[in-house]
Each structure stands twice: as structure tokens, then as C-alpha cells.
């Protein structure tokens, strides 16, 4: 029997399953929490339970919010004619931080992945086709990762949206703002050069 009690080992094991944490960082986080058990630990446990009780998945777009439909889907100031398709809720957050897009979202819940066994049936595509077929929708932006899996998913969606009367667009490729040319791959540089703008 090791020096770590079973209660603490259980916390460590659960933490070690979180993305970005391994056994070593899980031990470090568990120790940090248990040393602050009347403050940080209690707050985190309560916050987790509050969030679990309050947060639901939006049946329309797949976003996570305290209401269904979510605040973005019910916001009448947003443009219902443009649907932005993203892989995960985290991508929606990232786009909202950019504060440029004012349309609606649709969350796929993943991308096609042969490695992880994700096929078309695992993605939220049927409801997307139904939404995109509504007369009000004129454009579907495929804001998917610029990876092989992301692009395979984009092509699948384009196939499925063949019957819908919408313009399908994707995000521009180019030099990241603040990025140094020297560190960019040739594909990005070529795309940035081809899509160059006049001052």
C-alpha cells in the first residue's frame, strides 16, 4: 500500500484523465487542492456541481448554455441568414472572442477521424442540412480545422448540402496576425501570397 490514501488517489486518477494532464501534473493539482481544501477545493467542487446542474446543450445548434435554445440562437440581433459550422463549443468561444461574426452557429461535435473511429453518423450533420435548407439561410461558413480530417469533414458537408440553396464558404488561409514568415509552412505562405491584397 502506497502513502497516498484511496480518497486522494481517486482524485488523482480522475484528474489524470483530463486533457493536458498526466499522472505527474494530476498529483501536483491534487496536492494543491487538498492543501487548500477549505478554499480552492470546496469552491471547485461546488462550481462543478452548479455548472452540471445549470448547463444544457442547445437542441438547435449544439452550444452549451443555461438555456435551450441558447442565448446565441435566441438573440434576434444576430443574423439568421448565415450559419457558421464549427467542430466544438470551444471553437464557437474562440470565434466569439474575435467578435466579428454576428450570425448563427452549428456545432458538429467533432470531425471525421479514421484514427478515432469518427464517421459521418457520429457528427451532427442531419440537423445542419435541415437548418441550411430553411429559406432564410443563404450562406454556410465551414469554420473547420485546416487539417486533413477537418477538410475531409468540409467535403462531406459540401456533399450533403448539395440540395440546399446556400453559398458555402471557408475561412481564409494566410499569415497569422503576429506570425513570423520564417516559421510558417510553405502551404500557408503560398495561400497567403495567392490571396494577397493591395494596400
Nearer CB in complex with its own copies: 66/133: 66
Distance CA(164)–CA(146), nearest Å, equals 24
Q: At what angle do helices 23-35 and 6-16 cross, to 10 degrees?
A: 130
Nearer CB in complex with its own copies: 26/161: 26
Q: Which of residues 142-181 bind its own copies (CB under 8 A)?
A: none
Binding its own copies (rule: CB under 8 A), the pick from 96, 116, 159, 165 is: 96
Q: Applying CB under 8 A, does 34 fall inside the site for its own copies? A: yes
What is the pattern of x (binds its own copies, CB under 8 A) and - over residues 35-74? x-xx-xxxxxx-xxxxxx-xx-------xxxx----xx--
For the bound state, the minimum distance from the C-beta of residue 191 to its own copies, rounded and expressed in Å, comes to 25
For the bound state, the minimum distance from the C-beta of residue 42 to its own copies, rounded and expressed in Å, comes to 6
Nearer CB in complex with its own copies: 32/155: 32
For residues 107-125, one letter each, b for 16 or more C-beta atoms within 10 angstroms of the residue's C-beta and e for the rest, the string is bbeebbbeeeebeeeebeb
107: which strand partners? 86
Do the beta carbons of residue 111 and residue 98 sit within 8 Å?
no
Nearer CB in complex with its own copies: 67/147: 67
Surface-to-core class of residue 95, CB atoms within 10 Å of its CB (0-12 exposed, 13-18 middle, 19+ buried): middle
Distance linking the first and last C-alpha atoms of the chain: 69
Q: Applying CB under 8 A, does 89 fall inside the site for its own copies? A: yes
Q: Applying CB under 8 A, does 87 fall inside the site for its own copies? A: no
Q: Applying CB under 8 A, does 15 fall inside the site for its own copies? A: yes
Binding site for its own copies (CB under 8 A): 1-5, 7-8, 10-11, 14-15, 17-21, 25, 27-35, 37-38, 40-45, 47-52, 54-55, 63-66, 71-72, 88-90, 92-93, 96-97
Amino acid at each position: 500500500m502506497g502513502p497516498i490514501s484511496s480518497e486522494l488517489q481517486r482524485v488523482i486518477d480522475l484528474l489524470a484523465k483530463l486533457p493536458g494532464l498526466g499522472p505527474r501534473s494530476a498529483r501536483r493539482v491534487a496536492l494543491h487542492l487538498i492543501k487548500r481544501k477549505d478554499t480552492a477545493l470546496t469552491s471547485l467542487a461546488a462550481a462543478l456541481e452548479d455548472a452540471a446542474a445549470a448547463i444544457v446543450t442547445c437542441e438547435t445548434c449544439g452550444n452549451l448554455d443555461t438555456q435551450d435554445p441558447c442565448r446565441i440562437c435566441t438573440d434576434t440581433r444576430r443574423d439568421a441568414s448565415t450559419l457558421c459550422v464549427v467542430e466544438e463549443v470551444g471553437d464557437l468561444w474562440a470565434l466569439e472572442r474575435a467578435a466579428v461574426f454576428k450570425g448563427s452557429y452549428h456545432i458538429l461535435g467533432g470531425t471525421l477521424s479514421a484514427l478515432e473511429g469518427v464517421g459521418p453518423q457520429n457528427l451532427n450533420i442531419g440537423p445542419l442540412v435541415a437548418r441550411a435548407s430553411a429559406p432564410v439561410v443563404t450562406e454556410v461558413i465551414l469554420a473547420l480545422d485546416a487539417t486533413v480530417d477537418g477538410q475531409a469533414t468540409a467535403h462531406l458537408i459540401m456533399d450533403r448540402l448539395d440540395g440546399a440553396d446556400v453559398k458555402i464558404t471557408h475561412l481564409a488561409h494566410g499569415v497569422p496576425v503576429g506570425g513570423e514568415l520564417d516559421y510558417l509552412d510553405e502551404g500557408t505562405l503560398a495561400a497567403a501570397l495567392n490571396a494577397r491584397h493591395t494596400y
